[in-house]
Amino acid sequence: MLNKDGDKKVILCFGSSTTWGYDPAAGGIRFPEDVRWPTVMAFELGSDFAVIEEGFSGRSVLDHIPYNHPANGYQYLDKLLETMEFDFIIIWLGINDLFANRETSVKHIAEGIEKMIHKIKFSKPKAHIIIVAPPQINEDFDEAYLCQSEIEKSKKFSSEYKHIASANSCFFLDAGKIVSNSNIDGIHLEKEQSIKFGRHIAGFIKMSI
């Protein structure tokens, strides 16, 4: 098991390109450490914590890609549970599912989150789970007219994820009440928003332990 941080509390950030640090204003290059929300969070929390960034562009909750692919969130979670020890896991996923299969409902995606929760609780019963509901897709980006259905669905993440988190005794954070997605591409955080979220979730964790 990978955990070389002694008495530090380890936080695993499991997500997609927003967790990886995709910069929509720079064509998708990666934000530096002082901007990516997981590393901003780590700085705010201090030396008693170690943060593992496990963001992968295109990752979804449900398994949409054949074979064992890191973009398949539910499937790839097995590898992380087998190889890592952690005290907290933050799950921020869901937007990509709307585009991977346009027939997928947010309720179905939330059910996938619940299956992840069950898998984590079985493997790491002492780990604290934080479920993050993604902010809704920005309605003002240039190609918003092409994804009106996805925009409307994205407004349901908060209520569906909150229900799943509550039913499974997990922490819940509605990212849409803290930050908003860029009007450049509709689905990623810009610099100021990424920093803001990192600072906010650090405070959330401090209050939760």
| Domain containing residue 142: CATH number | 3.40.50.1110
Distance, CA of 115 to CA of 19 (rounded, Å): 21
Torsion 112-113-116-117 (CA) sign: negative
The pLDDT value recorded for residue 68 is: 76
Range of the domain at 107: 9-208
Is residue 3 assigned to a domain?
no
pLDDT < 50 stretches in the chain: 1-2
- Residues 187/16, Cβ–Cβ less than 8 Å: no
- Give me the pLDDT at residue 125, please: 97
Contacts of 78 (CB under 8 A, 6+ apart): 119
Q: Look-up: residue for tokens 């590393």?
A: 39
Residue 1 within a domain: no
Sign of CA dihedral 80, 84, 87, 90: negative
pLDDT of the residue at 1: 43
CA atoms within 13 A on the CB side of 201: 34
Q: Is residue 154 part of a domain?
A: yes
Structural domain contains residue 55 = yes
pLDDT of residue 65: 86
Q: Is residue 4 part of a domain?
A: no
pTM, two decimals, is: 0.95
Domain assignment present for residue 49? The answer is yes
Q: How many domains does the chain have?
A: 1
Tokens of 119: 């898998």
Q: What pLDDT shows up at residue 180?
A: 97
